[in-house]
Amino acid sequence: MKRRGLLLAAVAVVASTGAIAYHRISGTIPVDVFRVRPGRVEEITAAVSAGTVKSYLEAVLSTETGGQVSEVLVREGSMVRRGDVLARIVDPELTRQAEAALAEEGQARDVLLQAEAKRQEAAIRVRGERGRAENNLRKAREDHRRAEELFRDGFVSRSDLEAAATLLGNAEEEARITTAGESTLQALDREIDVFRGRIEAARARTAALTARRSKLTITAPFSGVITKKTCEIGESKLPGGALLILADPSSTYVEAQIDEADAAKVRVGQTARLLPEAFRGEKFTGRVSEVRPTVEASKEVSRANTIAITLTSAPQPLRLGMSVDVEVLTGGKDNVPLIPSAALMERDAKKFVYVVSGGKAVRRDVTVGVSNWDRTEILTGVSPGEDVVTSLEIKDLSPGSRVAIRTPP
């Protein structure tokens, strides 16, 4: 749009200079004309400023833990593939915690091994003592039974019977003591369970810290291009601090702003003309894919709505960040009288044109309908077949000026 205006201004200077010279010599101003005829005029809503090519797939890459940037392997514009290492962060405190957790896990495992060995030794000892006690108890019971029978038959004395009873009591006491050994084993089992719990806790802590440390290495979540780098080697970053912005250049769209006064005209699905600064003369088209409901502040107008346009025809690939003028076709009329918009003048809040009639410029006040930068619908004031002045000598004209048509329409 800006280049078009500069070109028209240059033409204006040349044409106006020639017209003035001719006018001074002959008193007649040469003009170009357009013969009013029916046609189609598009209602165009232009963005208030140049739009920007963006990507539907974009990721802000940051560090969850914070730390110091130790390595940056890319720059703005770098193409990367999914999984590529882009940057590295160091966090001494996190490293210390991970090493401490690993050491704690190792110590807990050593203590568990010792407890399990102790329990195994105790189990062997208890089983041996229990076996001996059970054998002794069976033998003492049998000896005591036989002593009672022999005592009744008069074959042994009372003292022999009492001795057998004493041995039986000792065997029963020994059996009771070995039963207490089972309680010792149960206590050791509980102790082992505690140690195993400590190992699991230490292992979970180690895994969590290892996972956090792995996130200090920043990798590409998808293939794309680095559109922005916001980190330098040696720089400290807080948790969540942005490092890089990655975008997929294969899923582009154009984001632009329209005056909030025109927002009601723009709807999803409407066709848009796109005029990239880098490809003037190329025809790019798209469709409005989103009209955001919120109104935002704008540098060009007080308030504006943001719209998104998906490309439908692009003879050249648009690069992320490119500047694009945007015109949305919000309506139009067919078979209506048209004139070039450049032929329309305005003075004292009245719109008018100059019509060539009988070799003179005749002012006609007009009312207009749909209008864009190229064509304007005429509702009243001129009729199809009449010739209106379109050249930039219009500013030199006044009602009744003598004119000569350069090239017949």
Distance CA 168, CA 87 (A): 81
Instruction: Decide if 2-55+251-405 and 58-89+216-247 have a common fold.
Output: no
The better pLDDT of the pair 17, 382 is held by 382
177-207 pLDDT, tens digit each: 666 567 777 787 888 888 888 888 888 888 8
pLDDT of residue 198: 83
Give the DSSP per-residue string, 263-281: GGG--TT-EEEEEEGGGTT
Is the pLDDT at 14 greater than 60, yes or no?
no
pLDDT of residue 178: 66
301-330: string of b/e by CB count within 10 Å (b at 16+)? eeebbbbbbebeebeeebebebebbbbbbb
Is the pLDDT at 279 greater than 50, yes or no?
yes
pLDDT band (50, 70, 90) for residue 402: very high
The mean pLDDT of the chain is: 83
The better pLDDT of the pair 3, 231 is held by 231
Give the pLDDT mean for 10-37. Answer: 63
Give the DSSP per-residue string, 371-384: E-SSEEEEEES--T
pLDDT band (50, 70, 90) for residue 8: very low
Give the pLDDT mean for 71-92. Answer: 93
Highest mean pLDDT among 132-141, 197-206, 218-227, 395-404: 218-227
CATH class of 58-89+216-247: mainly beta
Is the pLDDT at 12 greater than 60, yes or no?
no
Listed range (14-23, 31-40, 51-60, 81-90) with the worst mean pLDDT? 14-23
CB-side exposure of 36: number of CA atoms within 13 Å?
26
Query: Does the domain formed by 2-55+251-405 have CATH 2.40.30.170?
Result: yes
Query: Are the C-beta atoms of 148 and 165 separated by less than 8 Å?
Result: no
pLDDT band (50, 70, 90) for residue 133: low
Distances (CA, A) of 253 to 274, 300, 347: 11, 22, 41
228-243 pLDDT, tens digit each: 999 999 998 888 899 9
Domain residue ranges in the chain: 2-55+251-405, 58-89+216-247, 93-214
Give the phi and the psi of residue 167 in degrees, each rounded to 5: -65, -40
pLDDT of residue 22: 46
pLDDT band (50, 70, 90) for residue 174: low
Distance CA 388, CA 390 (A): 6
pLDDT of residue 120: 81
